[in-house]
Structure formats: C-alpha cells, structure tokens
Chain A
Amino acid sequence: MKTLAIYKKEVLSLFVSPIAYVSMALFLFLLSYLVTYDMNTSDLRDVFSAMSILMIFFIPMATMRTMSEEMSRGTHELLLTSPASLASIVAGKFLAVMTLVIALFLCTGQYAVIAAMYGKPDWMLISTGYLGMLLLCAQFVAIGVFASSLTSNQFIAAVITFVALLFFIAVDVLSYIFETVSLGSVFEHLAVFTHFQDFDRGLLDLSHFIYYFGMIILFLFLTVRNLETRRW
C-alpha cells in the first residue's frame, strides 16, 4: 500500500512549513478569544460551537494545497506514473490533513483542563463532543481535498471549499423556508450541524455516523474519479 509513503511525505511538508503553525496559532488565538466571553458551562459545548465556526476558515487553508500544488508543480506526473493507485494517493493526503486536525484538537485540550480545574466536567459528554467534531472535520477535509483536485490554483481551491462548507452549514436555513414540504427535511438532513448536535448532547446515533462516513467516502470517491477523468 502506497498510502503510507504519501502520508509520510504530506505530514513532513505540512509540519515543515510555517503555514501549519501560523494557522494553528491563529485558530487557537481566535478560539480563546471567542470562548473567554462565552464559556459558562463545564461541558465544552461553547468550545465546540466556536471551533466548528472557525473550522470553516481553517479547513480550506489546510486542504487547498493537497492536490492543487501537485498539479501546479507538475509532481502529479510522478504520482500518476508510479505504481500507486489513485485511491491510495487520495487516502494518504486525506489522512495527513486529518493528522493536522487532530494536532489542533490536542491543543484545545487546555479547555478541558480548565473545565476540570473549576468544575466537574462530564468526560463522556466531552468525548462524544470530540468524536462528533472529528467526524465533522473529516467531512470538511474530504470536501477540501475534492475542491483541491478541481484546480491547480490553491486560492481558487480554498474559495471553493469555503463556499461548499458554508453551503453545508447554511443549508438547514432552507428547511425553514420549505417547512411544510417534505423537501424541508431533506435540507435539514444535509446540514452538518443537524448531525453534530446529538454528539454535543452525548448521543451516539447510527444515522449520524452513516451521514458523516457517507459524505467522507462520497467526496474522496469524487476526488479519485475527478483525477481519473482529468487525464482524458
């Protein structure tokens, strides 16, 4: 499996460049700023809601280079003429960005520590919250990797990702408009936060896992298909 080779290379270039550190620092700074005025409970729900908003900006920055940079540098010619399947290349890149996201999660552990110092946090609730957050971010990353495979321009890739993420967040607004129609529930189910809320409340429902895994697989599959058809 060539996923490991791609993964190691991606992690290396992610953590060697200052962009990863700068964007992580910015993320944590803004998160702390938002949370300072808002953290009233010991269950980190305010942290998660602030994080999910900031992810709309962070994920496009983290994923924009994954495929675009290979195409603009011509290094995709190396990858596509190597005995490595497209699926293993895409998987390696996806997992590398997820590593960055998990590194960011570890940095947010400070809020759990603070919550434990001043209160009695519900660790189960925090765990399910992180699990939900991880799935939500994985969906965002899959969308970002797909957007990056559409263009060799990183900036355009970031913009596409940003707009797509806004769509998946705001789509439940449409469900209010179509409240009386069955369409309304479709939009509601498409929206990411609909599925995140239960994790935030400590509920693990199979349907939410299906939603997130379905979305992740869908967008990674679209990435592979897109890379395949670009050659024709």
Chain B
Amino acid sequence: MVEVDGVTKFYGDIKAVDSVSFTLKQGEILGLLGPNAAGKTTLMRIITGFLPASRGAVRVSGYDVFEDPMQVKRRVGYLPEQPPVYPDMTVRQYLRFVAELKGVPRRDRRARVDEAMDMAGLAHVAARLIANISRGYRQRVGIAQAVVHRPDVLILDEPTVGLDPEQIIEIRELIKKLGRAHTIMLSSHILPEVSATCDRVVILKQGRVVAIDTQDGLRRHAEDSATLKAEISGPAKDAAARFAAIQGVRKVSPIEWPGGSGATLIVDAEPGADVRAGIFDCCVDNGWKLLGLHREQATLEQIFLKLTAADSAPGEEASA
C-alpha cells in the first residue's frame, strides 16, 4: 500500500531523515515512534507530498509521490500535527470546502461530509464555528477532514498531542474504528499511544530506523534480561549485598523507604535464570519479611530506551 524506499532528507547540511525504508501493508495500523526531532513529521510530509525527498522514493498504491503527486494526494488523507482548520468557518462549511478541494463530486459531497461527521462524532457541532469548539473537537474535525474523500491511506501526525486524558481515549477509539476500513500510519513520541493502537511499530532515532517489529516481537527482544522488584522489611544495604550473592543475579539496586522501615530492591537477573526462590530463601534465612515480589514486564518504554541508547552509545549497554 505504502512503500518507503531509502528516503533521505536534508535541511541544508542537516540530515533529518536518513535512508528510511519500510512498507505499510493494506489494513494495517503502523506506529511511527521516536523522540522529538527524530524525523517523524518530515517523513510524513514526504509521504504526503508536502515535502520532496532529497533521495529515495515513496509509492502509494503503486504511484510515485514525486512523479504522480496528484494521484498520491487523492489516495492519502493527512492530519498534520496542528489540525489545518479555519476558525472562521463552521464545521460543516469547512468539511464541504475540504471535500470540494479533494475532488469529491458535487452529488456525493453532502453524503460524504455527513459520513465523516458521523464517524468523528461531530454531528451535534456541525453548525458551530471552529473557533468556538474545544481542542479535542478540533482534532476530530482534523480527522474528519482527512477521511472525507475516502482515502486508501491515513497519515496522522501526533493525533493525540495536547489533548486531555479523556479526549485521548476518545481519539484512540476513533483511530481503532478507522483502522477497520483504512490503512493507517500514525506518529507519536508517547509509547502507550502506539501500544494502544498499532499493529506494528517503526522506531526512529535521529532520522534513522532503529527497529521495525510487531509489538510482541519488540517485547520479546527486551526479555533477554528479566527484572524483578522485591519489597522487603529489612535493611536496604545489607539485603542488596545478600541478594547480589544469589546465583543468577547480575545487579541489585536498593531503594530505601523513608523512615527506614523497609526497602524496594530492583533485581536484574541473567537471561533465563529464575531467581525468585533464591530471593525468598535469602529473606527467610536473614529474618526479613518479603512483602512483595513481581516480575517487571518490559514496557515499550524500556525497549525504546534500550534500542535508542544502544544506538547512540554501544558501550553503555555492556556496563549496565
């Protein structure tokens, strides 16, 4: 559906995107993840034909964005980071304008605008000026704008940025709903965002792809070191030293509770080693009470940090 092939973009001397390649399959929701200034927006702008690439090619449904920009633009719906709305128009006026601009035939326009408003839950604000609706609703207008011409592919740049938690959940639901009928690519620097909605993740750092995988695959990558969290009532330093002596334990970081009533110990075990029984026995032997012990499921956050840190400083991981 979308093929990104060796795309590189220079801004003057600065390389914003560096030989990025991946494909977006039909019906898929792909997350583009990376810290700020990783090149996510630049890449999306290249795919939508807003910016030309310095090198490389992008094809949407087989059309090259540089050679056939009009064909690509007809097939892509784009929500920039800032929803591109005109505050002096009503929601309906605006969507009618966008439908006309994107070449929806006159006879279908009303139906398409109604369809987009229904889908985005905008029917009850149709007659309001965009200046007078909330940030969350503006974002929905931005999404309605992107789907009004029934594009094959939706490109959403940070669709939930700047929204309150309730609005974020609503927009996520909306994206999932859209995912049933569209192929979607969305960007985010917030991990829960991507893990809540996407099938696959492309991780970008400094313009380069550091990982492409399904969420499960990424998580499996990170499970080569199991981290345990133990809460005990006992002396923090002493416990840390004893735990470190247990076979299979690589590293222990103690955090003493205020008042000295106990401690939380982060235990980093070797891959494949189950040290839980060892920790339990150690507590019993020393007369400490084990208040809690659980395995930390590696979150996308940790995977992300690991992947991006490994990329910038290869020596760092070995010492950790």
Contacts and interface: CB of A to CB of B under 8 A. Distances in A.
B78 interface: yes
A5 B145 contact: no
Given A5-B97, A6-B101, A12-B89, A231 B84 contact: no
Contact of B84 (A16, A78, A85): A78
Chain A contact residues: helix, strand, loop or mixed = helix
Interface string B69-87: 0100110101011101110
Contacts of B207: none
Given A12-B89, A232-B52, A83 B84 contact: no
A74 B80 contact: yes
Contacts of A110: none
B98 A78 contact: yes
A84 interface: yes
Among A2, A9, A78, the most chain B Cβ lie within 10 Å of the Cβ of A78
A83 B76 CA distance: 10
A2 to B, nearest CB: 6
A73 B89 contact: no
A79 interface: yes
A17 interface: yes
A76 B50 CA distance: 9
B308 interface: no
B264 interface: no
B160 to A, nearest CB: 17
Contacts of B145: 78
B86 A9 contact: yes
B88 interface: yes
Given A8-B97, A77-B78, A232-B52, A83 B73 contact: yes
B19 interface: no
Interface string A1-30: 010111011001100110000000000000
B102 interface: yes
B281 to A, nearest CB: 62
Contacts of A85: 70
Given A77-B80, A232-B52, A82 B85 contact: no
A75 B50 contact: no
Contact of A5 (B51, B70, B84, B100): B100
A81 interface: yes
B80 A83 contact: no
A80 interface: yes
A82 B80 contact: no
Given A2-B101, A9-B97, A78-B84, A231 B74 contact: no
B52 A81 contact: no
Contact of A12 (B74, B85, B93): B93
B31 interface: no
B42 to A, nearest CB: 12
Contacts of B73: 81-83
A17 B78 CA distance: 28
Given A78-B98, A81-B73, A13 B80 contact: no
B114 to A, nearest CB: 19
Nearest to B11: A232
B102 A83 contact: yes
Contacts of B100: 2, 4-5, 8
A13 B70 contact: no
Contact of A231 (B50, B86, B97, B103): B50
Nearest to A228: B52
A13 B87 CA distance: 10
Interface string B37-60: 000000001001111100000000
Contacts of A231: 50-52
Given A5-B101, A6-B101, A77 B84 contact: yes
B49 A81 contact: yes
A83 B70 contact: yes
Among A12, A80, A83, the most chain B Cβ lie within 10 Å of the Cβ of A83
Nearest to A14: B88
Contacts of A78: 78, 80, 84, 98, 101, 145
A13 B86 CA distance: 9
Contact of A81 (B78, B81, B93, B97): B78
30 contacts: A2-B100, A2-B101, A2-B103, A5-B97, A6-B101, A13-B86, A13-B89, A17-B88, A73-B84, A73-B86, A74-B81, A75-B84, A75-B85, A77-B80, A77-B82, A78-B78, A78-B98, A78-B101, A78-B145, A79-B101, A80-B49, A80-B50, A81-B48, A81-B49, A82-B73, A82-B98, A82-B102, A85-B70, A231-B50, A232-B52
Interface of B: 45, 48-52, 70, 73-74, 76, 78, 80-82, 84-86, 88-89, 93, 97-98, 100-103, 145
Given A74-B82, A78-B101, A231-B52, 5 more contacts: A73-B84, A75-B85, A80-B50, A81-B48, A83-B102
Interface of A: 2, 4-6, 8-9, 12-13, 16-17, 73-85, 231-232
Closest 7 CB pairs of A and B: A78-B84, A5-B100, A74-B82, A77-B80, A75-B84, A83-B73, A81-B48
